[in-house]
Structure formats: C-alpha cells, structure tokens
Structure 1
Amino acid sequence: MVIVEFVVVPLGERSLSRYVAEVVKLLESKGVKYQLTPMSTIIEVPTVKDAFAVIEEAHELMFKLGAERVSTTIRIDDRRDKERKMEDKVKSVMEKVRGG
C-alpha cells in the first residue's frame, strides 16, 4: 500500500471546512481509506497511480465548487520491501514512546 498525505486548498477562501467535507465525501464514495487530520488528509491506496487519480478528482472538485485558483500539495510514502498500513506506522512510534 502507498500512504499519501495531501492538501487541496481553494485559494482566497477564509473557511475551508465545506471544501474538506466534499473531499471526504468523494473519498468515501470511492471506498478510499483515509484519515482526516487538522492540517491534511492521508489516504492509503494500492498504487501511486491510484493516489494521483483520486487527488486529481479532489483538485478538480474545488473548481466545481466555485474556486478560481487551487493549490495542491502531495507527500508520498511508497515502501516496497514490506506491506504496511497507516496504523502500522503509528503503532510503531507509540510502542517506542511506551518503551516497547
């Protein structure tokens, strides 16, 4: 699995929650596993190609919602030596925090 963090920002907007809500609806409609954070959205998809496809849809969605300019930032964690998921990364850190 590929873990991807992305931020889609319709520039010039003061409040982004309605835009973020529409992105979440998009992810849910596509069955994409996601984690919403205060600053970004993280998704878990099989390939980078899948990530780009869904992020492109989210980017274009901003224009459909009335944005005139959109900025999108993407960070990709693509590890191929072993299978892991979002929860695995968090669990690994928390075990170290607790001395495990």
Structure 2
Amino acid sequence: MPLLEISVVPIGTDSPSFSTQVTNAVRIIEEKDLKYELTPTSTVVEGDIDHLWEVAKEIHQEAISTGPERIVTNISIDHRTDKEMNMDHQIDTVRKELE
C-alpha cells in the first residue's frame, strides 16, 4: 500500500507555531479513516494512491483557508509496485536489521 509523508508549513504568521495546521491535518486523515503515524516533523499516511492524493489536497486547502498568506506543503509518496508494503512492515524490517 502506498505511503504519503506530508508536512504543512504556514509562512507569514505572527507565531512560529503550526500545531493548529497539524491538528487540522490529522482530523482530516481520521475523517477519511486512513491509517497514519504522526512524527515530530511530518505525518505519514497509508492508503490507496487516489485517497492519498485527495487527502494531501484537502490538507493543503484547509491549511490555506486558516489565514496564512502562504503555505508550503511538502509531500513524498513511496509507492511500490513489485510487492505489498505498509508502515508496519517498513518499521519491522528496520528493527530486524538492528537486532
């Protein structure tokens, strides 16, 4: 299953904080019933590629609607076609290598 990593950064606000944008993004992801992992600097979402594009667009549009004059949305998509993958498998693979 493809993975989307997304981060939203508002620019031109009175505060260096952007936890509101992150909270709004997570709410959107939860409403779509998608599996996700919140990290300190981004959010990783697992799902069908069409759903991932939709959720990325919705997160970006929500962030811009909250008032900042500029939003930078960074996305990265990891989409394997040779075999199935998911977040748990990716993490488990690295942990096994560390043993």
Does the pair score TM above 0.5?
A: yes
Name the counterpart of 1:46: 48
What whole-Å deviation, never above 9, does each CA across 1:40-94 have from its counterpart, x for those lacking one?
01000111x3211110100000122112111011111100111111010010010
- Counting only pairs closer than 5 Å after superposition, residues 1-100 of structure 1 correspond to structure 2 as 1-13=1-13, 14-47=16-49, 49-98=50-99
Equivalent residue letter for 2:40: P
* TM-score, length basis structure 1: 0.91
Q: Secondary structure at the match of 2:52?
A: helix
Q: Distance in 2 between matches of 1:84 and 1:10?
A: 32
- Root-mean-square deviation (CA, aligned residues, Å) is 1.0
Instruction: Using the TM superposition, give the Cα deviation of residue 21 of structure 1 relative to its aligned residue in structure 2, in angstroms.
Output: 0.6
| Segments of 4+ moved more than 6 angstroms | none
Q: Distance in 2 between matches of 1:96 and 1:63?
A: 41
Point out where structure 1 has 5 or more consecutive residues left out of the alignment. none
Q: Identity percentage over the alignment?
A: 37
What whole-Å deviation, never above 9, does each CA across 1:21-56 have from its counterpart, x for those lacking one?
111111111111111000101000111x32111101
Q: Which moved more, 1:60-69 or 1:84-93?
A: 60-69
